[in-house]
Copies of this chain bind each other. A is one copy, B any other.
Amino acid sequence: MTAYEPSHEQACDLVASGLENSMLISVLGRCRVDYDGRASSTLDAGDRLVVLKPDGTVLVHTEEGQQPVNWQPPGCSQEVTVTDTLEIRSHRDTPSEELTVSFEFVAHAVAYDVTDDQNLSLQGTEADMRERILSDPEMLEDGFEPRATERETPAGAVDIYGTDADDNAVVVELKRRRVGPDAASQLNRYVEALKRDLHAEKSVRGILVAPSVTERAQHLLDKYGLAFIPLQPVTDS
C-alpha cells in the first residue's frame, strides 16, 4: 500500500488501514511535532520521516542524526485524524506521555505488512568476555577458579566470583570498553560488600578486566587496592 503526494484524506485512510492491519507505516512530509510526558518539547514545521511500528513504536526522524528527534516507545496507542492537517497522535499511560505529529504536507506514505522472525546473533560483548574467562580462568591469573557468576551482594550482582591460588575470595568486574572512575567505584563497592558478607573470614580481592583504563580510574584502583587486567573483548588472531 503506497501513496505519492496523497491528499490528507488519502493519507489518513492509508495510515488508519495500516494501523488496523498491524503494518509498518512510514510517512514522509512537512510536519510539526509536540511532545508532553517525562519531559516536553516542541518542533516547528519541517520535513521529517515518521515511522509507526505494529508494536506501538513511533519514530520521528529528521535529515540528520542517528537518534529520532521525537519518539514513543513500544506499547503506545496511535490514532489518526484529518482536519486542516493530518494529525497522528500517540499516547501511553505510566508514565502519561503524548506525542502529536501534524502534517501540513505529505510527500509519501507507505504501509507494508512486515514479518521478521530472525534473531540477531552478536559477538564481542561483555557476555563473550565472561564466557572466555570461564572456559579458561587461568588467563586471568594462575590458580584462579570461578565459583559463581552474577553472585548477589548488598551492592549488586558481581560479574564473576571466585577464589585465587591462596583461597582468597576474588571479585571480577568485566567491562568491554575502556573504564572510568565509575567502574573502579563499582568494583570497590562489591569488594567492601563482600568483606562484610564474609565477616572477614578471608580477604577479598578485586580485579577489573577491561581493554584499558583512564588515569583517574587507575588512581582510584590504586587507592582502593584493586587490580586491573587488560583484556580485549574479542580475541581475533
Contacts and interface: CB of A to CB of B under 8 A. Distances in A.
Interface of A: 2, 4, 24, 26, 28, 38-49, 51, 53-55, 57, 59, 61-66, 69-71, 73-74, 107-108, 110, 112-118, 120-125, 154-156, 181-182, 185-186, 189, 216, 219-220, 233-234
Given A41-B123, A65-B55, A69-B120, A46 B110 contact: no
Nearest to A108: B110
A116 B155 contact: no
Contacts of A44: 118
A2 to B, nearest CB: 5
A9 to B, nearest CB: 20
A63 B124 contact: no
Nearest to A47: B114
30 contacts: A24-B28, A24-B61, A24-B63, A26-B49, A28-B110, A38-B124, A40-B123, A40-B124, A41-B120, A41-B123, A42-B121, A46-B115, A46-B118, A48-B116, A49-B114, A54-B63, A54-B64, A62-B114, A62-B116, A63-B115, A65-B74, A66-B73, A70-B120, A107-B112, A154-B216, A155-B181, A155-B216, A156-B181, A181-B189, A182-B182
Contacts of A24: 28, 47, 49, 61, 63
Given A69-B120, A120-B43, A125-B39, A57 B51 contact: no
A218 B92 CA distance: 31
A36 B17 CA distance: 38
Given A39-B123, A53-B63, A66-B71, 15 more contacts: A28-B112, A38-B124, A40-B234, A41-B120, A42-B121, A44-B118, A47-B114, A49-B51, A53-B65, A59-B66, A70-B120, A110-B110, A156-B216, A181-B189, A182-B185
A94 to B, nearest CB: 15
Contacts of A38: 124
A191 to B, nearest CB: 13
Nearest to A61: B51
Contact of A189 (B123, B154, B185): B185
